[in-house]
């Protein structure tokens, strides 16, 4: 399947992976494709709500606000023939359903990129990222564990075109085409 030739000439790229799994790194690589832009939830939240991001409830509220505003904009970009790399976590069925509504409304193709990275690797990356001060938000190990408690693996029943990134030995419960 040609990942860049949707009915509107565009693809919505969604990324599923835990904190520090490499979602933004993958998003940057995908954005290097022609006629492709990236929309980063972290960048927008840091700009709009920097002083309001203290708890998971704050994140949920602010993320919901951002999605309400960005939805029509993302659909318009896809309808205009631009591919969009949505650097938002596609980590729950509800978030993936919202993303599905975008590419379906636009008549665009889609690709769900699943990053399979063990928790210990994510935590090591997270600590390094926090120490470097290069990310919009610092996240503790406890916050990683809290957010990971809400993480739901994508299932074949959700019907996404999935590209798997990682070691298949660590995720025996799901199998998608690569």
Cα–Cα distance for residue pair 78/150, rounded to 1 Å: 29
Interacting residues of 42 by C-beta distance below 8 A, sequence separation 6+? 24, 87, 135, 136, 137
Please tell me the number of Cα atoms within 13 Å of 40 on its side-chain side. Answer: 16
Of residues 89, 148, 87, 81, the one with CA closest to residue 119 = 148
Q: Does 100 fall in a domain?
A: yes
CA 102 to chain centre: 14
Q: Does 113 fall in a domain?
A: yes
For the segment 112-148, what is each residue's pLDDT rounded down to a tens digit?
A: 999 999 999 999 988 988 787 676 677 778 888 888 8
Q: Does 44 fall in a domain?
A: yes
Q: Does 117 fall in a domain?
A: yes
Provide the β-strand partners of residue 162: 112
What's the confidence (pLDDT) of residue 135?
Answer: 65
Residue 117, SS3 per DSSP: coil
What is the extent of the structural domain holding 26? Answer: 11-170
Q: What is the mean pLDDT of residues 24-43?
A: 94
Residue 146, SS3 per DSSP: helix
Per the structure, how many domains does the chain have?
A: 1
Provide the β-strand partners of residue 15: 89, 113
Q: Does 154 fall in a domain?
A: yes
The whole model's pTM is what? 0.84
Cα–Cα distance for residue pair 128/3, rounded to 1 Å: 33
Computed on alpha carbons and rounded to an integer, the radius of gyration of the chain in Å comes to 16
169-178 long-range contacts, CB within 8 A, separation 24+? 170/116, 170/118, 171/116, 174/114, 176/114
Q: Does 175 fall in a domain?
A: no
Q: Does 3 fall in a domain?
A: no
How many other CB atoms are there within 10 angstroms of residue 82's CB atom?
A: 18
pLDDT band at 168 (very low <50, low <70, confident <90, very high): low
CATH of the domain at 153: 3.40.50.300
Q: Does 2 fall in a domain?
A: no
Provide the β-strand partners of residue 112: 14, 162
pLDDT band at 178 (very low <50, low <70, confident <90, very high): very low
Strands (E), the chain: 11-16, 36-40, 83-89, 109-116, 162-166
């Amino acid at each position: 399947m040609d990942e860049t030739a949707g009915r509107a000439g565009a693809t919505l790229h969604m990324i599923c992976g835990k904190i520090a799994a490499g979602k933004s790194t993958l998003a940057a690589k995908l954005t290097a494709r022609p006629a492709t832009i990236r929309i980063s939830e972290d960048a927008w939240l840091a700009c709009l709500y920097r002083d309001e991001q203290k708890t998971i409830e704050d994140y949920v509220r602010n993320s919901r606000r951002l999605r309400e505003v960005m939805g029509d904009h993302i659909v318009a970009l896809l309808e205009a023939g631009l591919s969009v790399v949505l650097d938002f976590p596609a980590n729950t069925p509800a978030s993936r359903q919202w993303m599905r509504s975008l590419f379906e409304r636009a008549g665009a193709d889609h690709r769900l990129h699943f990053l399979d990275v063990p928790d210990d690797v994510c935590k090591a990356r997270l600590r390094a990222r926090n120490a470097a001060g290069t990310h919009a938000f610092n996240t503790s190990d406890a916050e990683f564990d809290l957010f990971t408690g809400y993480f739901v693996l994508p299932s074949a029943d959700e019907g996404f075109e999935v590209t798997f990134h990682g070691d298949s030995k660590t995720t025996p419960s799901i199998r998608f085409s690569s």
